Amino acid sequence: MKALEITGLKKTYDNDHVALDGVDLSVDKGDFFALLGPNGAGKSTTIGIISSLVNATEGTVRIQGLDLKSQRNQCKLLIGLVPQEFNFNVFETPLNILVTQAGYYGIPKSVAQERAERYLKLLELWEKRDRPAREMSGGMKRRLMIARALVHQPEILILDEPTAGVDIEIRRSMWEFLEEINKNGTTIILTTHYLEEAETLCRNVAIIDDGKIVEQGAVSDLLSRSKFQSFVFDLKQPPEQPPVLEGFKVTHCEGSRLDVEMPLGDSMNSLFEQLSSQGLEVVSMRNKSNRLEEFFLRLVSSKDQQEAS
């Protein structure tokens, strides 16, 4: 069964800006799915329409087989939303925020109190339950929005840039938490700028650009289509001029840093031999970006080049 099916979704804002230009997308029930794209590509508009915060101009959205337009309230019961911006009453306490949100979904206060306690404890916010939300750190506020989105126990959890601006430690703990609830059957759809996040967590991704889905499929399939990878080398001495490396492409050379692009699967022995023969000593090396990021950047830049030509 599909958790989400979007067909021909279009959105034109009042200022005539076309945010979505015929988006087709489907997400399986139980999937961990990422919607990727550059800024302004249409990710947040898509999520806004699914969660009823934005009116679609055209197209259909089905949530677990229900039509969003004609069965909107039934659809809303199935969805939990963690938006990009903080959107809770900062003067309220986390406990009240959760109990109130549960009330909006018809959950009686006694049950809401129990659930609020459970999710605040799970997300390590219980100690802050009676303090105004404005006193919490950015990471705590993000976790509060996740707890709030889960309090009515939705079948689909949508997260718009959930880890933006949080430190690595909190990000990792949020990933673990999301993986856990996904294992328990909740479908998760997220947008993110951290492609490492998508590669680590998600089984399927879609890439949206200029209001259209340009790629969609399993992360493993997309990665297998990636033909290149890039490395950053730190050299002991800065080269006098960028080295010429046969079979490899030097994409950046500044100071003692050297960026090299190479076909995926090629041996690196020849690269090290050439560097050594030119008197360049490698101190350390690392992947320039993760593989999904590489694929994403190539996809977007090739499209930009096509448009320019």
Is 30 near other proteins (CB under 8 A)? no
Mark 109-128 with x for binding to other proteins (rule: CB under 8 A) and - for no binding.
Answer: --------------------
d(CA 224, CA 148): 37
Mark 188-227 with x for binding to other proteins (rule: CB under 8 A) and - for no binding.
Answer: ----------------------------------------
Site for other proteins in 43-72 (CB under 8 A): 45, 48, 51-55, 72
Q: Which is nearer to other proteins, 100 or 200 (CB)?
A: 100
d(CA 61, CA 37): 20
Is 42 near other proteins (CB under 8 A)? no
- Residue choice 58, 65, 69, 89 for contact with other proteins (CB under 8 A): 89
- Residue choice 3, 33, 43, 76 for contact with other proteins (CB under 8 A): 76
- Residue choice 85, 169, 240, 307 for contact with other proteins (CB under 8 A): 85
* Strand pairing category for 2-12 and 58-63: antiparallel
d(CA 65, CA 1): 8
Q: Which residues contact 9 (CB under 8 A, 6 or more apart)?
A: 20, 22, 23, 24, 25, 46, 49, 56, 58, 59, 60, 61
- Token couple for 252: 């950046």
Shortest Cβ 117–other proteins spacing (Å): 18
Q: What are the CA-CA distances from residue 100 to residues 112, 124, 151 (Å)?
A: 8, 19, 10
- Token couple for 222: 């997309």
Residue 54 phi/psi, 5-degree rounding, is -130, 135
Q: Which is nearer to other proteins, 75 or 271 (CB)?
A: 75
Q: Which stretch binds other proteins (CB under 8 A): 79-87, 119-127, 212-220, 292-300?
A: 79-87
- Residue choice 81, 116, 157, 258 for contact with other proteins (CB under 8 A): 81
Mark 93-112 with x for binding to other proteins (rule: CB under 8 A) and - for no binding.
Answer: ---x---xx-xxxxxx----
Mark 138-177 with x for binding to other proteins (rule: CB under 8 A) and - for no binding.
Answer: ----------x-----------------------------
d(CA 20, CA 56): 9
- Burial of residue 222 (CB within 10 Å: 0-12, 13-18, 19+) is buried
